[in-house]
């Protein structure tokens, strides 16, 4: 089953995201990777910018099982969740954000992610991978959603030169 994962980091992002992609390749069949973007922090502005990218994977696992594996990768990369700062700095953030044709709540996981319709840091890298793919609820192509979120962003995402290459 085709699935899209969003990755983010603002603590040594080049190193942590490169390791996260390598771990994803060990756990799943990685079909494609988006370019890497530098994005403004959302919800907690007193921190460094994030680096974000999206990865398309193929898996027969159910979405909650995929999300559990993503959480395990986060822990391997030193992610510590701070309840006082849920949107604070992190080594790695991996979230299943979209599974074509799937909508609904699976425990704490909501698909598609509500962030897809309102945040450029989610919509832009996803649109790089599947511009024509319709949002499972609205039917709007990801390319159009990305354009809308960029138009409303105070600081739109900017491509990181060289991506994850050292």
pLDDT, tens only, 60-80: 999 999 999 999 999 999 988
Mean pLDDT, residues 2-22: 97
pLDDT for 96: 98
Q: Using one digit for the tens of pLDDT, what is the confidence trace for 91-133?
A: 999 999 999 999 999 989 999 999 999 999 999 999 999 999 9
Q: Report the chain's mean pLDDT, rounded to a whole number.
A: 95
Q: CB atoms < 10 A from the CB of 76, how many?
A: 13
Task: Compute the distance between CA of residue 35 and CA of residue 80 in angstroms, rounded to an integer.
Answer: 26
Query: Is pLDDT at 82 greater than 90 in this prediction?
Result: no
The single residue listed with the structure tokens 């969740």 is: 81
Q: Which residues are catalytic?
A: 79, 90, 93, 95
Count helices and strands in the chain by DSSP H and E runs: 4, 8
pLDDT above 90: residue 6: yes
Q: Apex CA 47: angle with CA 41 and CA 50, to 5°?
A: 45
Write down all domains in the chain, each with its CATH number in brackets: 2-159 (3.30.70.560)
CA distance 123 to 101: 17
Q: List all residues 6 or more positions away from 65 whose beta carbon is below 8 Å from its beta carbon.
A: none
Question: Averaged over 145-155, what is the pLDDT?
Answer: 97
Find out whether 41 and 8 touch, Cβ atoms under 8 Å. Answer: no
Instruction: Check if the beta carbon of residue 13 is closer than 8 Å to that of residue 162.
Output: no
Helical pair 13-27 and 63-76, crossing angle rounded to 10 deg: 140
Q: What is the reported pTM? A: 0.96
Segment 128-156 mean pLDDT? 97
Largest CA distance in the chain: 39
């Amino acid at each position: 089953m085709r699935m899209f994962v969003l990755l983010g980091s603002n603590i040594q992002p080049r190193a942590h995201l490169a390791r996260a992609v390598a771990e994803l390749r060990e756990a799943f069949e990685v079909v494609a990777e988006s370019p890497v973007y530098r994005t403004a922090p959302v919800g907690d502005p007193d921190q460094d910018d994030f680096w974000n990218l999206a990865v398309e994977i193929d898996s027969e696992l159910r979405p909650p099982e995929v999300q559990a594996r993503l959480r395990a990768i986060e822990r391997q990369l030193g992610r510590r969740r701070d309840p006082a700062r849920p949107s604070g700095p992190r080594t790695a953030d991996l979230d299943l954000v979209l599974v074509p044709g799937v909508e609904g709540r699976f425990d704490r996981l909501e698909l598609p992610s509500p962030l897809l319709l309102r945040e450029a840091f989610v919509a832009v890298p996803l649109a790089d991978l599947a511009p024509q793919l319709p949002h499972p609820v609205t039917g709007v192509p990801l390319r159009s959603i990305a354009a809308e979120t960029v138009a409303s962003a105070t600081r739109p995402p900017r491509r990181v030169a060289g991506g994850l290459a050292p």
